[in-house]
Amino acid sequence: MDLLFVADPLASFKIYKDTTFTMMREAQKRGHRVFACEPQHIGWERGNTVQADVQAIRLTGAQDPWFEVEKTERMALKDFGAIVMRKDPPFDSEFFYATHLLEQAEREGAKVFNKPRALRDHPEKLAILEFPQFIGPTLVTRDPQAIKRFHAEHHDIILKPLDGMGGMGIFRVREDGLNLGAISETLNKDGAQTVMVQKFLPAISAGDKRVLVIGGTAVPFCLARIPQGGEVRGNLAAGGKGVAQPLSDADRTIAEALGPVLAERGLLLVGLDVIGENLTEINVTSPTCFREITDQTGFDVAAMFIDALEAMVMVS
């Protein structure tokens, strides 16, 4: 099968930890041909199909170079066995436009994972609102006064922008309210930008857990991203330490409740973020942590993903 990965530039991959690389490696191991392109390489013209300038690549098994380009050609997306959308956040206007091109390719017969419409319908911060039974006290607002009221009620809070990633723009305000006004103004932009506010969860000290769900089924191990050096953020991009561990009962309960629902909507791969027993985010654009979980536990997450991808291609 010919597999196209829509991703960031290949030269930017850090293969010692990159999840897309592990997917490609497993696909090649099974005899699938691996292709790659970036979103800007996809286009459409009336009278034709959605096409892209793609690179057929071969993974070398070495660290540098880790891939070789066998050829570059323009191909119709519908001619691939499957397309795996792995462009990293942020979900900006160009990402949004890419999902529309991919959805047109679906209408022409392409098989895209995660489904473009599902990517648009599940913004990673706001998707949790559908599952209030699993989340802690949360406020989504543009009203600075509402933020003050939330702080007065919960005393210790986290504020974050809806378009942040990797822990970017996350602030903690404790009971003394120090800098609440300044932080609120910075994120809220005087009422022009929506902010998410959540009660601080002390369980973050044990890690912000990434629970992976593939084809509606939870990977049996999660990666607890533990804050370091006085940081409130556990994100690996913010210096958190990743420790793989078996799912807790709460992790499994959340994954078993959400997994089949999200899979039915075309989300083959989802990353649930859980602090303690509380769901905090639903990551759908480019969930990671395959490499860390596999390296620490021996459980082959990439093999589970390619198994699910092959099964979906067969039935779709």
Is 48 catalytic? The answer is no
> What CATH code is assigned to 137-200?
3.30.1490.20
pLDDT digits (tens, 9 = 90+) for 125-162: 999 999 999 999 999 999 999 999 999 999 999 999 99
Is 300 catalytic? The answer is no
Amino acid identity of residue 106, one-letter, is E
Of residues 86, 111, 125, 291, which has the active-site annotation?
125
Is 111 catalytic? The answer is no
pLDDT digits (tens, 9 = 90+) for 203-256: 999 999 999 999 999 999 999 999 887 677 667 776 789 999 999 999 999 999
> What CATH code is assigned to 2-115?
3.40.50.20
Residues 6+ apart with CB under 8 A from 230: none
Of residues 38, 124, 208, 273, which has the active-site annotation?
273
pLDDT digits (tens, 9 = 90+) for 174-196: 999 999 999 999 998 888 899 99
Is 107 catalytic? The answer is no
Of residues 18, 38, 281, 292, which has the active-site annotation?
281
Domain boundaries, the chain: 2-115, 137-200, 203-299
Given a contact cutoff of 8 angstroms between Cβ atoms, the answer to whether 223 and 206 are in contact is no
Is 25 catalytic? The answer is no
Is 281 catalytic? The answer is yes
Query: Helix, strand, or coil here: 86?
Result: coil
Same CATH topology for 2-115 and 137-200?
no
Answer yes or no: is pLDDT of 68 > 80: yes
pLDDT of residue 238: 66
Measure the CA–CA gap between 268 and 263, rounded to whole angstroms. 6
Is 125 catalytic? The answer is yes
Of residues 111, 199, 209, 225, which has the active-site annotation?
225
Q: What is the pTM of this model?
A: 0.94
pLDDT of residue 228: 85
Backbone angles phi, psi at 156, to 5 degrees: -130, 110
- CATH topology for the 203-299 domain: D-amino Acid Aminotransferase; Chain A, domain 1 (3.30.470)
Of residues 111, 278, 283, 291, which has the active-site annotation?
283
Is 233 catalytic? The answer is yes
Amino acid identity of residue 39, one-letter, is P
Of residues 114, 210, 235, 292, which has the active-site annotation?
210
